[in-house]
Amino acid sequence: MILYALTIVVSAFLLFQVQPVIAKIILPWFGGSAAVWTTCLLFFQMVLLLGYLYSHAVIRYLKPRAQMLLHAGLLLVSVLALPIYPNASWKPTGAVAEPTLQILGLLAVTIGLPYFLLSTTGPLLQAWYSRRFHGAMPYRLYALSNAGSMFALISYPALFEPSFTTHQQSGMWSWSYGLFVALCAFTAFKSNPAPVDTLRQPETGADVVPQAAVVPPAAKTYWMWLLLPAVASVLLLAITTHLSQNVAAIPFLWVLPLSIYLLSFILCFEGEGWYRRNPYLQLLAVALGSMAYAVSVDQTSNVPIKVMIPLFAMGLFTCCMVCHGELARLKPDPKYLTHFYLMMSAGGALGGLLVGLLAPHFLNALYEMPVSLVACAALVSYVLRQDTELKWIRRWPGVLATGVLTLALAGHVGWQIRQMVSGSRVLVRNFYGGLKVRDSGDKGSLEETRTLTHGTINHGEEYINIARRDLATTYYAPNPGVGIAIREKQKGRAVRIGVIGLGTGTTASYGRLGDYIRYYEINPLVLELARKEFFFLADCKAKLDVAMGDARLSLEQELKEGHPQNFDVLAVDAFSSDSIPVHLLTKEAMELYFRHLRPDGILAVHISNRYLNLQPVLQGEVLATQKIARVVDTEDDDTQDVFGATWVLITSPATGFSGETLTSSGPLESKNTVRLWTDDYSNLFKILK
């Protein structure tokens, strides 16, 4: 058993270690959006389904020797895919409104075959183990597989990400995969069935007892094998999206929910399992209600990160323990092992398709999070009623209690969705997330405003009354750092202004005749809303352009074409909700920005954030690029619709700061120091507040 266990654990470790590695590498290529990780998870789940389908077909239709030769051959071919670092030719060359298919294609070419073969290892080796020892129960190997997966996920943000660059990580993984190929091929050759007359039980040494006839699983059992993991998968992806969009698209917030998801598999499938209906069913009611309430509260007020992450983590753990615990109670005889794993993987892939592919295209907001809570409650109620031993829930008091609780949850979710829709002028969604436009204040008054939000964060606000609608508001008013920098440069001449992140286009209100403003925006829906729902762009007196696509890639392409922009001020404000696109805050990005600035130009970086302290990051980059920096902190001013903001202004020491930029700012100082961020290394976990 040790050989099988070792091979499965190594396979599971590599299977889940490669997920954050490859996702972090390609994240900056597609705008740093949290949806990149969701799309990666969709790919991983689909390939896992293909791997389980392969395992099922191989076990069912091929003889043992043919199974061994086929699998060993594919393992050798997969080595040709190494190393796994993706080719830079996959980077988008322009605006990509929907990069999902491009991401899936990149992953298929880069890690498709190695990942596919890793995904087959668990079910295939468990089936070989059961065959070799004639009916020995292999489910402990499944728990070991999930333990290896969980260790891979936990070790990535704790050991690998802080210590190694992405090139080093991909290199170490590639070498480890080569060793796995040798180990798995050896195990395959050792998996020929043992002679029946000499067979002993692998652990006890007792003679094997002839097996009784096995009753095939019923059709409704197959459906429960599919739907229970599907609901758990939807919850995993929906909670990960909610956290990543409102904090940051970082491995820590990918790894935490996925680790919890795997932990539930380990606990439910280890031996007799740790799942007990009492107290988990009671905890499920509390978890579903708490998460539904937290989602509705987070739409109107900012839930602190120290509350939000533990609440959703514990809620996800409880839901997954119930779903996977009920699934483990339905596990079949080893004869139907590959059927069971095939339906489980199909359920996981179904959840990935619903959240990663269908929801962004067919829903206009992030409804999957609250809806999945209701689906979980309804499915668990149904599964429990199918258990003939659980008599209390089949009688009318049990039916009434579960029905009332499920309907109450559905009612709250329905009210929550109605509030989201009714308070919105426009509600749209695509790959990059959900956007909402709403009006507030007394209609027709001077105080009436129109706001654009992404997730829970305000991305621009405009007065509707024509007398005030061109006033700079929120983070871009005259007193915050970007306003000071622009006004300082406008004192002597016409200026060129660059802005990374369009929002409502508020900075266009600074444009004068003769000025030039160039925006860089990745999300086509943002540009559409800025033009249709707001007036900043339409009323701008300066010449104005919008370059669609990722800002880094657009700026790099402009330099390749010999067109440096010579900006007087370049503002970096490309938050997606409160999430930070890391690739816009690296040393290479800083150097790129200054190649587009005039010698006396000012780089203005907006670092206001609920969860991340970005000052030590910028301090390291300022030192590395030999620039000087000042910090402008401003407070809220409700009378002028101005938000408190923190901007860091950076310029060349040869020109320095003067005038208002000097008197209204302080030196960039941080007690914390972090390793210099580059395109090959970053670690947001270190700067969580």
* Residue 269 vs residue 120, higher pLDDT: 120
State what percent of residues in the chain have pLDDT above 90. Answer: 29
Identify the pLDDT of residue 400. Answer: 72
Instruction: Out of 227-236, 348-357, 455-464, pick the least confident.
Output: 455-464
Is-contact 685 672, C-beta < 8 A? no
Check pLDDT > 60 for residue 452. Answer: yes
Check pLDDT > 60 for residue 211. Answer: no
Residue in the structure block whose two tokens are 């590599």: 14
We find that the CATH architecture of domain 471-687 is 3-Layer(aba) Sandwich (3.40)
pLDDT band at 171 (very low <50, low <70, confident <90, very high): very high
Check pLDDT > 80 for residue 545. Answer: yes
Mean pLDDT in residue range 645-662 = 87
Length in residues, the chain: 689
Is-contact 56 350, C-beta < 8 A? no
Q: Say if 1-193 and 471-687 have the same CATH topology.
A: no
Mean pLDDT in residue range 166-182 = 92
Identify the pLDDT of residue 300. Answer: 54
Note the helical H segments in 353-435. 359-362, 368-385, 391-394, 396-422
Check pLDDT > 90 for residue 361. Answer: no
Instruction: Out of 332-346, 532-546, 618-632, pick the least confident.
Output: 332-346
Mean pLDDT in residue range 578-598 = 87
Check pLDDT > 50 for residue 207. Answer: no
Identify the pLDDT of residue 519. Answer: 95
Q: What is the mean pLDDT of the chain?
A: 83
Check pLDDT > 60 for residue 163. Answer: yes
* Residue 578 vs residue 184, higher pLDDT: 184
Q: What is the distance between the alpha carbons of residues 276 and 344, in angstroms, rounded to a whole number?
A: 21
Identify the pLDDT of residue 273. Answer: 67
C-alpha closest to that of 78 among 117, 119, 109: 117
Q: What is the distance between the alpha carbons of residues 86 and 79, in angstroms, rounded to a whole number?
A: 15
State the Cα torsion 228-233-239-242 to the nearest 10°.
-130
Q: Where are the domains of the chain?
A: 1-193, 223-422, 471-687
Q: What are the tens digits of pLDDT across the range 514-532?
A: 999 999 998 899 999 999 9
Mean pLDDT in residue range 583-605 = 93
Identify the pLDDT of residue 676. Answer: 92
pLDDT band at 173 (very low <50, low <70, confident <90, very high): very high
pTM summary value = 0.80
Identify the pLDDT of residue 394. Answer: 58
- Residue 632 Cα distances to 282, 452, 484, 549, 667, angstroms: 50, 24, 9, 29, 9
DSSP three-state, residue 154 = helix
State what percent of residues in the chain have pLDDT above 70. Answer: 88
C-alpha closest to that of 320 among 261, 403, 239, 377: 261
Specify which of 102-106, 218-222, 296-300, 591-595 reaches the highest per-range mean pLDDT: 591-595
Instruction: Out of 50-64, 129-143, 181-195, 616-630, pick the least confident.
Output: 129-143
Check pLDDT > 50 for residue 201. Answer: no
Fill in the amino acid letter for 662: L
Q: What are the tens digits of pLDDT across the range 387-430?
A: 766 666 656 566 677 778 888 888 888 887 887 777 788 888 88
DSSP 421-454: HHT-SEEEEETTEEEEEEEESSTTSTT-EEEEEE
pLDDT band at 613 (very low <50, low <70, confident <90, very high): confident
We find that the CATH architecture of domain 1-193 is Up-down Bundle (1.20)
pLDDT band at 212 (very low <50, low <70, confident <90, very high): low
Identify the pLDDT of residue 206. Answer: 43
Q: What angle do CA 689, 314, 381 make, to 5 degrees?
A: 150
DSSP three-state, residue 630 = strand
Is-contact 448 398, C-beta < 8 A? no
